[in-house]
Amino acid sequence: MYVRKIIHIDMDAFYASIEQRDNEEYQGKPLAVGYAGDRGVVAAASYEARKYGVKSAMPSKTALRKCPHLIFVPARFDVYKSVSNQIMDIFLEYTDLVEPLSLDEAFLDVTENHKNIPYATQIAKEIKKKIYETTSLNASAGVSYNKFLAKIASDYKKPNALFVIRPKDAEAFVESLPIERFYGVGKVTAQKMHQLGIKDGLELKSRSEAELVANFGKAGHMYYMNARAIDDRKVEPNRERKSVGAENTFSNDIESLDELAIELDEIAQDVINRIERSGFLGRTITLKAKYADFRIITRSKTLIAAVTDYSTLYNTGFELMKDIDLSAKVRLLGLSIKNVDNVIWHDAIQLSLDFKDWDDLNQQKE
């Protein structure tokens, strides 16, 4: 049986750690990257700030209520991208099979590697050491035989951690895992899982694939496989992201515009979080609705500039939503962004720095 050796590297509080590294006055103090005004939002939070409950995508005024002495600093995306390039160069010393997920994380397939090192754990240790020596920043690493397990492992004992999930331990480990720790299970999905009596990997594993697909759509197949510690996806070094999106299948079908607006708010927050993590930029917003009879409709609008803020995304999505048929009940709502043509990175930096344009978020995502 061919067993891959996969490493997932995730930088610890990347943006905030860079700001603390570059300014001694910030070290050891609760810090947030973002804009502190009434319409501001936290783009990233240091571990000192997280102890107070401050999280990324949280409205700044909420963050300040939780931590009145929180330090806000403006984002410097040019610096973050430069540091990210240093880290990616280190990865490429070991393998060409590097799949970046965002500026601060990536999968590496080191089954065969440039240095002929037989153990993935040794490679992960070396990479963590080199990252620190080069950037003075800590990274967490997860090592396993597939991407799902490596991703979970890197987050399992953060920060500055190295965690290994071996093939012989994988199924038992996944069975004991709280459902909230599964990659791809957010706050809303976790709540739905709990409503179905699924609180951990063992209970998830007891459900049939048909039941999971019926309740969670295509994601149900992924949950079924992941509950068995199975993930056949390869590390794709040349993968180009075409779109960023999120969707939610409702526990009960909805036919009220007001109720759909509440769901749209949470979905838009999720998409903005994913944009921030991935650095993706696109101009076309698409709303997707699936009805109780499984009909699917989409509505799209292409904007002049790339979408970088919650307000633009939500308001455009709401206008598109008003154009759909509400005489039939809706069972799923989705929102996505695509079309990267003519989007220039340097323009994106300027847009991303202006946190004043973010509206207050009504709910906090994970």
Report if residue 238 sits inside a domain: no
Tell me: do 9 and 140 sit in the same domain: yes
Residue 362 has pLDDT above 50, yes or no: no
Tell me: do 288 and 252 sit in the same domain: yes
Instruction: Please give the positions annotated as active site.
Output: 105
Closest alpha carbon to 131 in 106, 166, 150? 106
pLDDT > 90 fraction of the chain, expressed in percent and rounded: 63
Cα–Cα distance between 197 and 216 in angstroms, integer?
14
pLDDT > 70 fraction of the chain, expressed in percent and rounded: 91
Which domain, by its residues, includes 214?
A: 171-226
Amino acid at 256: S
Report if residue 233 sits inside a domain: no
Q: Answer yes or no: are the C-beta atoms of 101 and 150 closer than 8 Å.
A: no
Provide the mean pLDDT of the chain.
Answer: 87
Give the pLDDT of residue 350: 29
Q: Which of 148, 165, 182 is the last residue of a domain?
A: 165
Tell me: do 153 and 17 sit in the same domain: yes
Alpha carbon 346 to its chain centroid, in Å, reads 23
Report if residue 236 sits inside a domain: no
pLDDT in tens, 227-275: 999 999 999 887 666 788 888 888 788 988 888 998 999 899 889 888 8
Confidence of residue 186 (pLDDT cuts 50, 70, 90): confident
Residue 174 has pLDDT above 90, yes or no: yes
Is 323 exposed, middle or buried (CB count within 10 Å of its CB: 0-12, 13-18, 19+)? exposed
Question: In CATH, what number is assigned to the domain containing residue 266?
Answer: 3.30.1490.100
Give the pLDDT of residue 200: 96
Cα–Cα distance between 361 and 266 in angstroms, integer?
9
* Number of domains comprising the chain: 3
Give the pLDDT of residue 353: 29
Tell me: do 178 and 154 sit in the same domain: no
Residue 347 has pLDDT above 70, yes or no: no
pLDDT in tens, 47-92: 999 999 999 888 899 999 999 999 999 989 889 989 999 999 999 9
Give the pLDDT of residue 170: 96
Q: Which of 165, 195, 218 is the last residue of a domain?
A: 165
The values of phi and psi at residue 363, to 5°, are -135, 150
Tell me: do 158 and 187 sit in the same domain: no
Report if residue 235 sits inside a domain: no
Strand 296-302's sheet: what is its strand order?
A: 243-254, 330-338, 284-291, 296-302
Tell me: do 101 and 118 sit in the same domain: yes
Confidence of residue 1 (pLDDT cuts 50, 70, 90): low
Tell me: do 124 and 265 sit in the same domain: no
Write down the residue that tokens 């995730």 correspond to. 10
Give the SS3 label for residue 101. Answer: strand
pLDDT in tens, 285-329: 999 999 988 888 999 999 988 888 889 999 999 999 988 888 889
Give the pLDDT of residue 248: 86
Cα–Cα distance between 218 and 222 in angstroms, integer?
7
Q: CA angle at residue 29 from 27 to 33, to 5 degrees?
A: 90
Give the SS3 label for residue 35. Answer: coil
Tell me: do 156 and 21 sit in the same domain: yes
Strands, E assignment, the chain? 6-11, 31-34, 42-45, 71-73, 98-102, 105-109, 139-144, 162-164, 243-254, 284-291, 296-302, 330-338
Tell me: do 121 and 222 sit in the same domain: no
Q: Is the Cα torsion angle 194, 200, 202, 204 positive or negative in sign?
A: positive
What the block records as the tokens of 212 is 């999971």
Tell me: do 82 and 116 sit in the same domain: yes
Closest alpha carbon to 335 in 285, 276, 273, 283? 285
Tell me: do 190 and 204 sit in the same domain: yes
How large is the average pLDDT for residues 29-49?
90
Strands, E assignment, 212-329? 243-254, 284-291, 296-302
Q: How many CA atoms lie within 13 A of 167 on its CB side?
A: 9
Give the pLDDT of residue 354: 32
Report if residue 350 sits inside a domain: yes
Cis before 30? omega within 30: no
pLDDT in tens, 10-26: 999 999 999 999 999 99
Question: In CATH, what number is assigned to the domain containing residue 103?
Answer: 3.30.70.270
Tell me: do 117 and 195 sit in the same domain: no
- 129: number of Cβ within 10 Å: 12
Q: Which of 165, 185, 201 is the last residue of a domain?
A: 165
Closest alpha carbon to 226 in 203, 204, 253, 258? 204
Q: Answer yes or no: are the C-beta atoms of 182 and 266 closer than 8 Å.
A: no
